[in-house]
Structure 1
């Protein structure tokens, strides 16, 4: 969208306020998708929820590619947003539930990698389609997004259903078959199945293929247990997850990814082709450093990476604030300010991508107990999209009010608060099963590191108010 904005504004003759709304409305509508995805995935399964996400997004992409007017384009963005909300909630949950503790961090961060690859391909396609006539170019930039959605809607049928969802439905035989497929050994599959059965309230020694699920795992009372009358452990989980999603966005990532052409223009880059090439560098940096994060997530750990990432973001945001402030107040182009702004932008994207970007989604899929996971992840994704929309729809107004350099100093200050929150509230979850993490929070530990936890059947009052 960042590259297409240049041409949409020129073609449809819209002002900055309309452009902000157009940019952010997708994420505002994604809140609706995220809210619906949690319950939907509990009803029909994780796989079919992904299919629904793809089909909704495909319809939105087609509408955007055809859009003859601003109103029509807004409708396409809204529909696409609902699809994005579905996808951004269910993808990390599916990855976490199907993976083993050893590789869960790496697999749970794959959705963020795929998003980054999509952003990079979007930047590249923007550069290519910019050479087309004005009325066709930006429509191709937006409409081509339907191609991967169509491919995934068919490809997902080659993937197995989540074994944890199958257990929640009492389909133990199918869950065991899936675990055998995705585990290294039959013994590992049996062990993982036993852990899941215990957290689901099913006797570990049960060998039936189909069982009746205890009522406490059903839909009744899930909303009450998570939001209306949460126990102290659940309240702590929800607070941590929501704050993670808030900090992911109010530290400025939307300002950089969506409005990078404006940042580079303020720094001194004037040619449209050069602006689009500079944004390709943003996408390439984001993708490369998320690959680094995926490699180290299960080696270094979530906590160390997110603290290092946030510290790097603070330094880069301060540098970007200095570079843009000097460029903005100078009557002639300052080469050093231009270089500092570009380097700081890439450094910020790199720092974000090795930690806060992917790890937010890893934690979001790990923290909640089994019966609350879909709804909890849905709430987290909804908050994530809401904050995304808030920054997307207000950044131009913010930088006009306090200058573009001042806006990045503001983001740097918020990042300092984020670092302190992560230091005091986030535990290390590397190498722990989802069931061990659940036991850790259920027992109310104040440690920042989850030590070896003995998995025992959950008592009725462990996670209920």
Structure 2
């Protein structure tokens, strides 16, 4: 059962609120970075850039200290046979003893541990260095695992390949190409980018469980495509004009803000929520780590090649390219990604496996379930939500 809580009158899944808070704090950090850069730009050059780089050490030290007190993941503890420690962590992070026992029961079932086993330490079957897991994930995957892996890696790839880090890291250059020449104005415009990202990530927190992953993701990526294409058009018009075009400047600035808003309301946070909930327990660590690796590698490629890219095909052309990539991403999400709202981590493997035909498979299973004796209780291996 998914844990929900009341926030400002809304029933919200607390698990995904926590996942969203990661994105909230990342975007808040980006915003603080923009604001501090603007403040330090007033200092002499030999001091300003040193403060810009050095200020990041303060939260890093704080993070290193608080990580010491973090509890271990109960899922990982169960996989290691340390049920007693897992039970203590779940007791601390659940609203009631009954909820803690239910969550532990779900994890034990996925790990293949008998429900009547209540020992603090149990023997579990382990593969040295995770060799069995990697074989099941990459060499001999079932259709459902293959589908999950493609979706988990694909959503991470398209998140970064659509150019978000190019906008975040090089927004001063983009605003300069758009016609903003004052250093002060460019830094203020980057603050607006950070503020927009932070505001819309907060808005998304209240939409995820009310709308669902697919509708929010498809709407977000669709908005990104439109804003990227319009941004490319505005920058191209500026590049090919001998005189300043105020409307094109305003359009380009507005589209940068629209792009980060559309990204933050769906594509940004849903990538992490979706990829964290689809992998079955025994493959979760390796599967999600592959997705994150693809995410970071793609981010690095985009970040390091963006200047070369826009010099080769113009600044407007680069955003037309990103719009094309985002369009391919939208088609991929529409065809391959099932809705996962209301599903537990242990149920995800049943939902996947038919790729483009997942809708038909879902309808067939629902019809069979509706005709059976237990149709109102279990559908597609998913526990009925209260």
Question: In which range does the TM-score fall when normalised by the shorter chain?
Answer: 0.7 to 0.9
Please say if 1:342 is aligned against 2:253.
yes
Asked whether the 8 Å contact 2:81–2:122 carries over to 1, the reply is yes
Partner of 1:269: 180
Give the Cα–Cα distance (whole angstroms) in 2 for the partners of residues 108 and 447 of structure 1. Answer: 27
Partner of 1:306: 217
* Equivalent residue number for residue 125 of structure 1: 36
Q: Distance in 1 between matches of 2:303 and 2:142?
A: 35
5 Å matches for 1:238-317? Answer: 238-317=149-228
Q: Deviations over 1:361-395 (max 9, x none)?
A: 11121121112111111111110011111111111
Q: Which residue of 1 aligns with 2:343?
A: 432
Helix, strand or coil at the partner of 2:275: helix
Cα deviation, 1:343-377, whole Å, max 9, x if unaligned, reads: 00000000000111111111121121112111111
Matches of 1:276 and 1:394 in 2, distance apart? 22
Verify the 8 A CA contact 1:200 1:217 in the aligned structure 2: no
Contact conserved, 1:317 with 1:408, CA < 8 A, in 2? yes
Unmatched runs of 5 consecutive residues or more in structure 1: 1-96, 457-465
Q: CA deviation at 1:218?
A: 7.4
Deviation, 1:270, is 0.5
Q: Does 1:174 align with 2:174?
A: no
| Aligned counterpart for 2:276 among listed residues 344, 349, 365 | 365
User: Aligned residues, how many?
Assistant: 360
Q: Is the 8 A contact 1:106 1:298 kept in 2?
A: no
8 Å CA contact retained: 1:98, 1:182: no
Equivalent residues in 2 for 1:135-214, closer than 5 Å: 135-214=46-125
Separation of aligned partners in 2, 1:143 and 1:429: 42
In 2, distance between residues paired with 1:298 and 1:364? 16
Shift of 1:400: 1.2
Match status 1:112 vs 2:23: yes
Cα deviation for residue 156 of structure 1 reads 2.6
How far apart are 1:443 and its partner, in Å?
9.3
C-alpha change, 1:153 and 1:116, in structure 2 (3 Å) is same
| TM-score normalised to structure 2 length | 0.87
Partner of 2:137: 226
- The CA distance in 1 between the partners of 2:85 and 2:220, in whole Å, is 40
Please tell me whether the aligned partners of residues 145 and 349 of structure 2 are also in contact (alpha carbons under 8 angstroms): no
- Match for 1:386 among 263, 280, 297? 297
**Alpha-carbon distance in 2 for matches of 1:198, 1:455:** 14
Give unpaired runs (5+ residues) of structure 2.
6-11, 367-378
Shift of 1:442: 7.0
Q: Name the CA distance, whole Å, in 1 between partners of 2:251 and 2:237.
A: 10
Instruction: Give, in angstroms, the shift of residue 217 of structure 1.
Output: 9.7
Question: Displaced runs of 4+ in structure 1, greater than 6 A?
Answer: 97-101, 442-445, 448-451
Match status 1:235 vs 2:152: no
TM-score (norm 1): 0.73
Residue 246 of structure 1: how far off its partner (Å): 1.3
Q: Write the distance in 2 (CA, Å) between the matches of 1:217 and 1:453.
A: 33
Q: 1:119 to 1:309 in 2, by over 3 A?
A: same
